[in-house]
Amino acid sequence: MGELTVPWHRLPDMPLGPAKPINRALAAALAVGAAGAAAVMGARAYRAGAGTQAGAVDAAAHPAGVGAEHAQPAADRLSELIGYRTVFSQARDRIELDQFTEFVDALARLYPAVHQTLERKFVNGHALLFKWAGTGPDAEARPIVLMAHYDVVPVDTRDNWTHPGFSGHQEGGYVWGRGALDDKGALVVIMSAVESLLKEGFSPAHDVYLSFGNNEETAGDSAATAAGLLAGNGVRPWMVLDEGGAVALEAFPGLDVPAAVIGVAEKGGLDLELLTHSAGGHASTPPRMGATARLAQAIVALEETPFPASMPEAIVEMTRRIGMNSGFGLRLVTENMWAFKGLLTHVFGVLGDETRALTRTTVAVTMLEGSKASNVLASTARANANIRIAVGESVESVVERVRDIIDDPLVQLRVRSGHGPSPVSSFGNEQFASLSRAVAASYPEAVVTPYIQTGATDSRHFTAICPAVYRFSPLLMDVSDRGSLHAVNERVRISSLGSGVVFYRELLLGLG
């Protein structure tokens, strides 16, 4: 059949008369086949809706306000810790080192049991690495690492914050301030969980490490140093859990319950400089294609020619799990991805920025530089393209594609910094099941699903020593909450801090 190049109803050398019944028979056969395929699709969708997600727990089995007893104490601790201006900078003279020191001292005061029981080491000055020694006979066999970072991005005093950015103010059921979500909130719920378990007399069977970074926001090297220390001591973590996904409300059309999205991989990151030159001179006699015009042309080309979309297996599984808990129409699609994967990939591209970023390499021009004066032509113009590299691509392949898209040899490309996407951790193993059970205890109504983390985290430095690295913060966020990350009015729900403590308690108790 491979050699046929014309439609079946116009095959050569076939008499017209006899062809009619053959055509009708073929059409009937196709109709029957289509109906059969539709029936199979429908049955798959029905069965998916009739079941429940693996690892899910009936919400009625859990009391309302999960973790309420932990919420306010965690909020009060977080409020104080937000008050420390732990803004790291690549320019060392701009770092308020006393704020980092005072933050570390406050941790010791707020969590006395942790500091009395766990071994603490300083890494790269102010990063922290705690060891909670296991008491089982094979304590070193399955160590886990729980991660967070306490450095934050700056607060621009010109922005109109509802409450000052470093106030830690509590109002309306929220703690307000820089770091509430990214990432002091996660650090607080980890420490609060460990503190409460220690006061109850709990000891883990296996070693537990707490790794808290001090320069994640500037892509610093503290986490890499911590990973190197563990590797040098022969520690090969069974699981690593860092920030990343969250318990997301309003994230997926058709899903009325929260989605606990656990990152099983993260996209790579690349800062690529675009550089153009021209003669410069007086702005009264501009050339037709000066440095700024050429640079603008390159930027427009990147904006109008996005990278091709694809759907990694983790995102396929995410859509399937979301569909299982949605209406029949969506289940019909997500349970038959063999037929609808291409269509759904396209839909992800038009639904919004969050879903679009899950399916492709993204390019954002973040910095521009031209002339130093309003009446002087720029002799040099530059832009920084911040690129998040999709799973399956590399720094090299992305640079070549950017070069092809711009298609101008006079636009120079220079890699300022970059790393490829992380390996993909399994979402069918014991580690992911442990995380799912902890979510079920802390957010019983949530759908647990893998996904690809679109931003970079410190956890990427641990992938060389651990095959099971995950990215998830057990904090509830709606669209508005997620929009406050790195933005004005960053805030976290006080109630979700309590649920976050329950998450880590259940995770640690479940691992023994």
3-state secondary structure 258-286: CEEEEEEEECEEEEEEEEEECCCEECCCC
Is 216 a residue of the active site? yes
Q: Could you tell me the pLDDT band of residue 35, with boundaries at 50, 70 and 90?
A: very low
User: 131 in helix, strand or coil?
Assistant: strand
Q: Where are the domains of the chain?
A: 60-266+423-511, 268-419
Model's pTM, two decimal places? 0.85
- Helices (DSSP H) in 218-336: which residue ranges? 222-232, 291-304, 313-324, 328-334
Q: Is the dihedral of CA 428, 429, 430, 436 positive or negative?
A: negative
Report the distance separating Cα 171 and Cα 387, nearest Å.
37
Place of tokens 């002339």: 371
**60-266+423-511 belongs to CATH 3.30.565.10:** no
Annotated catalytic residue, options 183, 216, 242, 458: 216
pLDDT digits (tens, 9 = 90+) for 155-208: 998 999 999 999 999 999 999 999 999 999 999 999 999 999 999 999 999 999
Report the distance separating Cα 448 and Cα 446, nearest Å.
6
293 closest CA partner among 346, 359, 238, 370: 370
Q: What angle do CA 152, 209, 83 make, to 5 degrees?
A: 25
List of residues 6+ apart from 139 with CB closer than 8 A: 133, 205, 206, 207
Give the model's pLDDT for residue 64.
52
Annotated catalytic residue, options 151, 242, 243, 506: 151
Distances (CA, A) of 238 to 35, 222, 462: 48, 21, 11
Q: Strand 491-493's sheet: what is its strand order?
A: 170-171, 174-176, 491-493
242 closest CA partner among 263, 225, 259: 263
For residue 83, give both structure tokens.
């008050």
For residue 452, give both structure tokens.
């690809």
pLDDT digits (tens, 9 = 90+) for 437-469: 999 999 999 999 999 999 899 999 999 999 999
Is 151 a residue of the active site? yes
Report the distance separating Cα 403 and Cα 397, nearest Å.
10
Q: Percent of the chain having pLDDT more than 90?
A: 80
The torsion angles phi and psi of 6, rounded to 5 degrees, stand at: -125, 160
**268-419 belongs to CATH 3.30.200.20:** no
Helix (H) or strand (E) holding 135: none
pLDDT digits (tens, 9 = 90+) for 38-80: 444 454 554 555 444 433 433 333 345 899 999 999 999 999 9
